[in-house]
Amino acid sequence: MDDAHLQELRQRAPGLAAIYQTGRDTILRSADMAALEQARVQTLGRKSPLTEFLRSIPGLPAEERPLVGKGGNLIRKELEALVEEREADLKRAALSASLATERIDVTLPGQLFPAGHEHLISQTMREVEDIFIGLGYRIAEGPEVELDYYNFTALNTPPSHPARSAHDTFWVVEQRETMPEAVVDAGAVRFRPMLLTAAAVVVGAGVILFDPIFQGLAISLMAGEVASLLFSRMTVPILYFLDKRWEFAHGAPGGDGASPG
């Protein structure tokens, strides 16, 4: 409220101007949040002088009612804005005092730490994989314990090959038994025909997948082929490993166990 409005209000409604001045001084004298809340109740509450004065407007002369009503609403808005402004000032003062006396303020945002990144070797491996995938290759993982056939024979390394000599290769009991190391190429050789067979069945059955008569057959073929692929890649190797471990533990036939060549 500017000085012109306040001067006019003092001339036409001195009681209302006095209420405004008293409420303004009370709010500005509030030293903390509790005192400010008490000043708000005294100035703007249901039993405050301003509220009582506004309730008495119907009893005023008709020519005074518009001015007093407009001035009363304006005074209420001014005092409410003054309360909000004083509350913000008190909060800033309390925060400044807290920062000056306390070493750590847990309400302030914490210090951000730089995030880590993937290991350089892992990044390099993924980049190499992306390059080969872009060239049309596919990534397949082989078992950690592999057969002699997939390690050598299927890779054009027959038993007569120099790389199959005894001082370069380790066998378990015989050449046909499982070996302690896996070769990446052996996993690819083992996985390729299985994957191609499963893909052929799934694609072939897809032709009749949406046929109302043969849809059940198509689903059975697809699910069976996928299940057999997972069964041969997981269940069978595990059972084979458990069987061989029991056999070696109780004495393998034709030998006393594993022996390096």
What Cα–Cα distance (Å) separates residue 151 from each residue in 68, 190, 247? 102, 10, 23
User: What's the confidence (pLDDT) of residue 55?
Assistant: 78
pLDDT digits 0-9 by tens, 205-252: 888 888 888 889 989 989 988 888 877 777 776 777 788 777 777 764
d(CA 140, CA 137): 10
Does the pLDDT at position 167 exceed 60? Answer: no
d(CA 73, CA 82): 14
Average pLDDT rounded to a whole number, residues 70-79: 81
Is 21 within 8 Å of 76 (Cβ atoms)?
Answer: no
Cβ neighbours for 177, distance < 8 A, ≥ 6 positions apart: 148, 171, 244
Q: pLDDT-derived band of residue 20, with 50, 70 and 90 as boundaries? A: confident
pLDDT digits 0-9 by tens, 43-62: 888 888 888 877 777 777 77
- The answer, as to whether pTM is greater than 0.85, is no
Please classify residue 150 by burial: count the beta carbons closer than 10 Å to its beta carbon, then call 0-12 exposed, 13-18 middle and 19+ buried.
buried
The alpha carbons of the chain give a radius of gyration, in whole angstroms, of 45
- Mean pLDDT for all residues in the chain: 77
Q: pLDDT-derived band of residue 255, with 50, 70 and 90 as boundaries? A: very low
User: What's the confidence (pLDDT) of residue 121?
Assistant: 92
Q: Which of 115-124, 127-136, 142-151, 198-207 has the lowest mean pLDDT?
A: 142-151
d(CA 173, CA 7): 113
Comparing CA positions, the residue from 191, 189, 172 lying closest to residue 180 is 172
